Amino acid sequence: MTAAPIDTGFKGSAARNAAARARLLRGLLPALSLALVLLAIAWLNPRAISYFGFNLMLNLAIPIALATIAQMFVIAGNELDLSIGTFVGFVGCVTATWLKEAPLIGVLILLGSIGVYALLGALIHLRNLPSIVVTLGMSFVWQGLAILVLPKPGGKAPDWLLAIMSLKPPFVPFPIIAALLIGLVVHFGLMRTSYGTILRGSGGNPAALRRAGWSLLWTKVALFSLTGLFGVLSGMALIGITTSADANIGNGYTLLSIAGVILGGGEFVGGRVSPIGAVIGALTLALAASPLLTFMHIPPDWQVAANGAILIIVLAARVLISRKER
Amino acid sequence: MASLKALVTKPWIWSFVGALLVWLVTIAFTGGYGAGGMVTAALSLAVFTVIVGVGQMFVITLGPGNVDLSLPANIGLASAVAMKVMGGSDSMIVVGLLAALACGAAIGAINYLLIWALRIPPIIATLSASFIIQSVDISFGRGLQIKPPPGFADFTNWQIFGVPVLAMLTVLFTIGAAIALRRMIYGRSVLAIGQNIRAAWLAGVNVGRVRFLTYTLSGALGGIDGALLAGYFRGANVDIGNEYLLASIAVVVIGGTSVAGGKANVPGVWGAALFLVLLLTMLNTFGVSAGVRLLLTGLIIVGVITAAGGEKAVR
Amino acid sequence: MAGADIRLNGAEKHFGAANVEIVRLDGAEKHFGAVRALGGVDFHVGPGECVGLVGHNGAGKSTLMHMVAGTLTPDSGTIGVHGAVEDNYSVSRAQQLGIRCVFQELSLCPNLSVAENTRINHAALTGLGWRRRAANLIAAKLDEIFPDHGISAADIVGDLSIGRRQMVEVARAFTVTRDRLDLVILDEPTSSLDAHTSGQLLAFVRRFVAGGGSCILISHVLGEVLRNADRIVVMRDGKVVASDAAAAFDRDRLVAVMGGAEAHRKSAVQAAAKAGASPLRVRARPAGQMDGKDLVACAGEIIGLAGLAGHGQTDLLLQVFAGAARAKAGIEVTAPVALVAGDRQSDGIFPQWSISENIGIRSLSRLRNGLLISPRREAELADFWQKKIGIRTPDMNNNIFSLSGGNQQKALFARALGSDAGIVLMDDPMRGVDIGTKLEVYDLVREEASRGRTFLWYTTETEELDNCDHIYVFKNGRIVANLTRDELTEEKIIQSSFGDAA
B273 and B53 Cβ atoms separated by less than 8 Å: yes
Spell out the SS3 assignment of C258-296. HCCCCCCCCCCCCCCCCCCCCCEEEEECCCCCCCCCCEE
Whether residue A69 sits in one domain with residue A167: yes
Residue numbers in chain B where pLDDT is lower than 70? 1-9, 143-144, 308-315
Chain B positions contacting chain C at CB under 8 Å are 179, 183-185, 188-189, 191-192, 195-196, 198-200, 202-205, 262-263, 314-315
Last residue of a domain, one of C178, C195, C213: C178
Evaluate whether residue A16 is within a structural domain.
no
Chain C residues closer than 8 Å to B191 by CB: 350, 352-353
pLDDT digits (tens, 9 = 90+) for C252-278: 888 778 764 443 444 444 444 444 567
Beta-bridge mates of residue C80? C24, C85
pLDDT digits (tens, 9 = 90+) for C347-359: 899 999 999 999 9
pLDDT digits (tens, 9 = 90+) for C410-435: 999 999 999 998 999 998 888 767 77
Closest among C477, C158, C501 to A16, alpha carbons compared: C158
CB contact under 8 A, B188 and C373: yes
Look at residue C12 and tell me whether its pLDDT is greater than 70: no
Q: Which domain holds residue C161?
A: 109-178
Look at residue C105 and tell me whether its pLDDT is greater than 90: no
CB contact A19 to C (< 8 Å) = yes
Q: Which residue of C has its CA nearest to A195?
A: C126
Contacts for A102 with CB less than 8 Å, ≥ 6 apart: none
* Candidate from C69, C105, C308 with C-beta closest to A8: C308
Burial class of residue A278 (count of CB atoms within 10 Å of its CB; 0-12, 13-18, 19+): buried
CATH number at residue C440: 3.40.50.300
Whether residue C171 sits in one domain with residue C298: no
Contacts for C19 with CB less than 8 Å, ≥ 6 apart: C46, C47, C48
pLDDT (0 to 100) of residue C191: 75
A-C contacts at Cβ under 8 angstroms: 124
Domain boundaries defined on chain B: 11-308
Whether residue A261 sits in one domain with residue A131: yes
Look at residue A254 and tell me whether its pLDDT is greater than 90: no
The count of structural domains within chain A is 2
pTM of the model: 0.79
**Which chains contact A through at least 3 pairs of Cβ atoms less than 8 Å apart?**
B, C
C363: confidence class by pLDDT, cuts 50, 70, 90: very high
pLDDT (0 to 100) of residue C272: 47
Chain C residues closer than 8 Å to A213 by CB: 90-92, 95, 123
Look at residue C457 and tell me whether its pLDDT is greater than 60: yes
Whether residue A319 sits in one domain with residue A177: no
Distance CA B160, CA B140 (A): 36
**Which chains contact C through at least 3 pairs of Cβ atoms less than 8 Å apart?**
A, B
CB contact C476 to A (< 8 Å) = yes
Best mutation site among A1, A2, A10 for testing chain C: the one with the most C CBs within 10 Å? Answer: A10
Evaluate whether residue A7 is within a structural domain.
no
Q: Which residue of A has its CA nearest to C126?
A: A194
Look at residue C406 and tell me whether its pLDDT is greater than 60: yes
Look at residue C332 and tell me whether its pLDDT is greater than 50: yes
Closest among B285, B301, B259 to B18, alpha carbons compared: B301
Distance CA A79, CA A216 (A): 13
C297 vs B176, which has greater pLDDT? B176
Tell me the HSE value of A116 on the side-chain side, using a 13 A CA sphere.
20
Whether residue A286 sits in one domain with residue A237: yes
pLDDT digits (tens, 9 = 90+) for B196-223: 999 999 999 999 999 999 999 999 999 9
Whether residue A60 sits in one domain with residue A114: yes
pLDDT (0 to 100) of residue A9: 42
Evaluate whether residue C359 is within a structural domain.
yes
Last residue of a domain, one of C156, C178, C200: C178
Chain B residues closer than 8 Å to A319 by CB: 118-120
Evaluate whether residue A17 is within a structural domain.
no
Look at residue C14 and tell me whether its pLDDT is greater than 70: no
Closest among B118, B109, B119, B124 to B209, alpha carbons compared: B109
Give the mean pLDDT of A240-264.
88
The count of structural domains within chain C is 2
Last residue of a domain, one of C178, C196, C227: C178
Q: ipTM for the complex?
A: 0.86
CB contact under 8 A, A16 and C159: yes
Whether residue C141 sits in one domain with residue C285: no
Burial class of residue C451 (count of CB atoms within 10 Å of its CB; 0-12, 13-18, 19+): exposed
Give the mean pLDDT of A45-67.
87
Evaluate whether residue C154 is within a structural domain.
yes
Q: Which domain holds residue A319?
A: 299-326
* Candidate from B123, B139, B305 with C-beta closest to A302: B139
Look at residue A75 and tell me whether its pLDDT is greater than 70: yes
A146 and A231 Cβ atoms separated by less than 8 Å: no
Evaluate whether residue A2 is within a structural domain.
no
Distance CA B23, CA B298 (A): 18
CATH number at residue A71: 1.10.3470
B53 and B252 Cβ atoms separated by less than 8 Å: yes
Whether residue A205 sits in one domain with residue A57: yes
CATH of domain B11-308: 1.10.3470
Give the mean pLDDT of C130-151.
92
pLDDT (0 to 100) of residue C502: 34
Look at residue C493 and tell me whether its pLDDT is greater than 80: no
pLDDT digits (tens, 9 = 90+) for A257-312: 988 898 888 887 788 899 999 999 999 888 877 777 777 777 777 877 877 887 78
